[in-house]
Amino acid sequence: MRPDIATQVDNTMILIVAVCIFFFVLVTGTMIYFVFRYNKKRNPQATNIHGNTPLEVAWTVIPLILVLVIFFYGWNGFSNMRNVPEDALVVKVTGQMWKWKFEYENGKKSDTLFVPVGKPVRMNIHSNDVNHSFFIPSMRVKEDAVPGRENYLWFKADNIGEYDIACAEYCGLDHWNMYAKLIVDTDENFNAWYNQVEQSEKKTNSGETGNTTNQDSLKNNSGNTDDSTTVTDTTQISDTTKSE
């Protein structure tokens, strides 16, 4: 069983926060104690101490060991982030000013990222214009979208629900509004939606579709999978008709 990315990030964070609190209390506590204990009133005559080599070695080596442990945790979590499971669902995401566009392997396009619960998802990240950064806070993953290259990340959503996708690299006027939704649903619901759209894509066979896919259509569509070709997003059909 592979460890969960988000859990690993949170665990590293907990470790670091523990180390932080320890050193913070140690340093500031000692400092405040000295300020009162060795105040001029209590201690009118200072004792000159030039240093202490064993102490210097101690507070070089002990923090060194601690940071190497933290480094190891960070690296360990990171290697998990970079090794995508082989059965991952592959989705291409393209950032452009100021929206995210998702494209599935079957050619289905969407403005909302639909994924099945519990399945690894690999995002291949592109940009059409300037740098963006694909960021799903609740999954603890982020990777920049850089024009002219493909970056990737992967995540696995363990709970059904709706999550925010943000742009984390400043990209101009509406950077703050470049949000999209990640919708995690059951396998059946996802597959229904996925296959339904696949048929519509095959039928129209156009690269321009999907820009205006209704973001809330997952549940509606999944209820109507039997006659899928007729009940896909109306906006999408009208778009493709125009383009043909």
Q: Which of residues 97-136 bind other proteins (CB under 8 A)?
A: 129-131, 133, 135
| Distance of alpha carbon 218 from alpha carbon 69, whole angstroms | 44
Residue 72 and residue 91: Cα distance in Å, rounded?
Answer: 30
**Distance (Å, rounded) from C-alpha 192 to C-alpha 186?**
10
In the complex with other proteins, the residue whose CB is nearer, 1 or 31, is: 31
**Segment 141-200, which members bind other proteins (CB under 8 A)?**
141-144, 146-149, 151, 164, 166-177
Within residues 42-61, the interface with other proteins by CB under 8 A covers 43-52, 55-56, 59-60
242 binding other proteins? (CB under 8 A): no
> What distance in Å separates the CA atoms of residue 180 and residue 125, rounded to the nearest whole number?
15
> Total residues contacting other proteins (rule CB under 8 A)?
79
Alpha-carbon gap, residue 231 to 68, rounded angstroms: 57
Residue 67 or 160: the one with the smaller Cβ distance to other proteins is 67
> Using the rule CB under 8 A, is 231 a contact of other proteins?
no
Q: At its nearest, how many Å lie between other proteins and the CB of residue 209?
A: 26
Distances (CA, A) of 144 to 1, 91, 179: 28, 15, 15
Select 151 or 225, whichever has its Cβ closest to other proteins: 151
